[in-house]
Amino acid sequence: MPITKLEQVLEKLKKAEKKTIAVVAAEEQNILSAVKKAIDENLINAVLVGNKEKIHKIAKDINFNISGLKIIDEKEPRQSAHLAVKLIREGKANVLVKGLVNSADYLKAILNKETGILPPKAILSHVTILEFPTYHKLLFVSDIAVIFQPDLKQKIAMTNYLIDIAHKFEIKKPKVAMLNCSEKIAIDYQNSYDAAIIATMAKRHQLKDAFVDGPMALDLAISKKSCETKGINSPVGGDADAIVFGNIEACNSFYKAGVYLANAKMAGIIVGAKAPVVLTSRSDSDESKFYSIAVAAFVES
């Protein structure tokens, strides 16, 4: 049965072999709180890379017993990112998690051609999973954080990543909407062309196994009533599992509106590297960080 709630991921993880996360610059209270919860629920193992003295102090403040965890003492956040990435490369950790390190330095360590974890010619993309109280299943969206203005090649990669993650959530043939402001192809708007091209590629089995349709406005992707009103007959319409957005502003705004205005739960990971990568915002809740860690460990299994 498809996974329709983030809580179900936790139940799956408890039955699976535990994965090890490597936390970069782990001297950050919110991320340590999320790691604590994941360990307390027996979901993961962890290696903490960062300022050992500060890590111990924060752990004591949040009542986190870290005596059984491996801690690699490194006071420089930029260097801690390289050390954590090395753990991934050596197979000593399965998931990379951002702590108190600058996002640019974190990504540089991942992207380093000699010591990083990005395969040749691979494309990094961020997949966000949203659980809305008003929608009947999880919604997978891309890209809120990495690709600012994706071109056609990047949108194809984003689409395939969403399909991959949906498959991990036991959705056999996910329904993917290529988002646009209208279901009509606009002559002067490249995003609508890209959507139509990718939808056609899917029908001709040039993408991974999924129903893909577009261009498609948001209401058509998630509302069967809108499809009926507008006379749209689509295997995706009103029942989308995933949405590919045309640019980062649209996707980021959608996710934040969902979280702040509609009380959506969320988890987010970067895919495309040799291991799942957790890159959360400072404003993300502890719950979101916890679910992001859980999802990263789950999709790696």
What's residue 188's pLDDT?
A: 84
The verdict on 113 and 206 lying in the same domain is no
- The tens digit of pLDDT for each residue in 221-236 reads 999 999 999 999 999 9
Paired tokens of 48: 């903490």
Q: What is the mean pLDDT of residues 45-57?
A: 98
Query: Residue 283's pLDDT band (boundaries 50, 70, 90)?
Result: confident
Instruction: Determine the pLDDT at residue 280.
Output: 86
Claim to verify: residue 277 and residue 230 sit in the same structural domain? no
Tell me the per-residue pLDDT of 211-223, one tens digit each, with 9 for 90 and over: 999 999 999 999 9
What is the tens place of the pLDDT at every residue in 183-198? 988 878 999 999 999 9
The HSE-up count of residue 139 (CA atoms within 13 Å, CB side) is 27
Terminal CA-to-CA distance of the chain, rounded, Å? 18
What lies within 8 Å, CB to CB, of 175 at 6+ separation is: 210, 211, 213, 235, 236, 239, 240, 241, 242
Tokens of 112: 């380093």
pLDDT at 301 over 80: no
Which residue carries 């193992």 as its tokens? 45
Average pLDDT over residues 151-177: 98
- Tell me how far apart the alpha carbons of residues 172 and 185 are, in angstroms, rounded to a whole number: 29
Strand 242-244 to 139-142 pairing: parallel
**What's 172's domain CATH number?**
3.40.718.10
117 and 135 both lie in a single domain:
no
Whether 267 is in a domain gets the answer no
Residues 115 and 136 in one domain: no
Is there a domain that residue 211 lies in?
yes
Percentage with pLDDT > 90 across the chain: 95
